[in-house]
């Protein structure tokens, strides 16, 4: 394997023995907030993200194809033995040329969208009705593109601006696919008593085909809220990493490296929230995922993505 890239959470390797090349994407237990990676890790986080993303990729593959080849890699699938540290947290994927546009879909007011709305009554330049509160449902889900600005931070832009940069045809395809996958994810979450408030998708091209890539509807890329306790105007009960952001906001930290130290109770609470979201939405046991991943890595049996 040849190391290609390391992001805030994922490490990417090229499997050089395959033609065309395949990638091995490994989700670590690292956690970031405000574009800064924390010094501590969240136990089991990478395995939970992998399990949940694979489940949603299979659930939405009829809407848009994705880059997944194997969701439980085997020695045959990677061309060599699997590092024990990668078990349950790695997938084999097609290599895609990524579209440099983050495709956000918002169904409720939160985060930067809430701040923009309070200042101007808009979200990514899209005019919304007056009187909405924190966590209010939008009249309908809104496609909200984002790009990296000159200093590397996410910059919310309007759909019209995205069309100027990437072309109307591509942006409209991305919007349609994003909204359809969001609707499928919302339906799955609602069946478990959870609200999918917003999420972020990434797309790329492989052999001329547009693919859904990276992660899909995980607690790292989405906001999941407890439906029964949701009350507009009040902070929702959340299953994502928002509690980490909220904790950091109390410290007076300037949101630049180095990050402040995180107490064990914050890390443990994050791990429990991630696991709860996975098990409730998918109806599957996290321990079962780990058992199947270990069996695949030892026996060379087929992964569920085969």
Within this chain, domains 2-97+270-286 and 98-249 share the same CATH topology: no
pLDDT tens figures, 134-193: 999 999 999 999 997 766 668 899 999 999 999 999 999 999 999 999 999 999 999 999
Q: How far apart are CA 182 and CA 250, in angstroms?
A: 32
How many whole angstroms from its chain centre is CA 25? 14
Question: Considering only 76-80, 108-112, 203-207, which range has the smallest mean pLDDT?
Answer: 76-80
Length of the chain: 306
Architecture label for domain 98-249: 2-Layer Sandwich (3.30)
pLDDT for the residue 159: 95
Query: Mean pLDDT across the stretch 246-272?
Result: 94
Quick one: pLDDT band at residue 304, thresholds 50, 70, 90?
A: very low
Sign for the pseudo-dihedral over CA of 217, 219, 223, 228: positive
Q: Which CATH superfamily is domain 2-97+270-286 in?
A: Phosphorylase Kinase; domain 1 (3.30.200.20)
Q: How far apart are CA 165 and CA 143, in angstroms?
A: 16
CA-based Rg of the chain, rounded to a whole angstrom?
19
pLDDT for the residue 151: 62
pLDDT for the residue 302: 45
Full-model pTM: 0.92
| Mean pLDDT, rounded, of the chain | 93
Quick one: pLDDT band at residue 200, thresholds 50, 70, 90?
A: very high
- Cβ of 191: how many Cβ atoms within 10 Å? 11
- Say yes or no to pLDDT of 81 above 90: no
Quick one: pLDDT band at residue 44, thresholds 50, 70, 90?
A: very high
Give domain limits for the chain: 2-97+270-286, 98-249
Q: Which of 290, 232, 263 is nearest to 50 (CA)?
A: 290
Question: Considering only 239-253, 274-288, 289-303, which range has the smallest mean pLDDT?
Answer: 289-303
């Amino acid at each position: 394997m040849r190391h290609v890239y390391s992001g805030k959470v994922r490490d990417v390797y090229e499997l050089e023995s395959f033609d065309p090349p395949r990638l091995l994407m490994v989700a670590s237990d690292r956690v970031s907030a405000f574009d800064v990676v924390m010094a501590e890790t969240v136990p089991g986080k990478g395995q939970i993200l992998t399990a949940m993303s694979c489940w949603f990729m299979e659930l939405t593959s009829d809407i848009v194809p994705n880059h997944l080849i194997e969701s439980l890699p085997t020695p045959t699938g990677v061309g060599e033995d699997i590092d024990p540290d990668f078990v349950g947290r790695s997938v084999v994927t097609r290599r895609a040329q990524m579209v440099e546009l983050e495709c956000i879909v918002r169904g409720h007011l939160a985060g930067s969208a809430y701040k923009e709305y309070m200042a101007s009554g808009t979200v990514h330049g899209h005019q919304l009705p007056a009187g909405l509160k924190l966590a209010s449902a939008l009249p309908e889900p809104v496609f909200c593109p984002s790009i990296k600005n000159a200093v590397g931070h996410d910059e919310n832009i309007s759909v019209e601006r995205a069309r100027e940069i990437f072309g109307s045809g591509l942006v409209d395809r991305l919007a349609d696919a994003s909204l359809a996958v969001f609707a499928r994810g919302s339906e799955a979450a609602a069946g478990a008593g959870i609200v999918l408030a917003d999420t972020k998708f990434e797309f790329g091209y492989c052999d001329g085909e547009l693919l859904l890539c990276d992660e899909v509807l995980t607690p790292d890329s989405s906001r999941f809220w407890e439906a029964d306790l949701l009350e507009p105007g009040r902070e929702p009960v959340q299953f994502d990493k928002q509690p980490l952001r909220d904790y950091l906001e109390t410290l007076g930290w300037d949101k630049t490296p180095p990050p402040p130290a995180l107490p064990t109770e914050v890390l443990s609470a994050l791990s429990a929230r991630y696991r709860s979201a996975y098990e409730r939405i998918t109806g599957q046991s996290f321990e079962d995922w780990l058992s199947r991943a270990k069996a695949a890595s030892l026996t060379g049996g087929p992964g569920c993505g085969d």
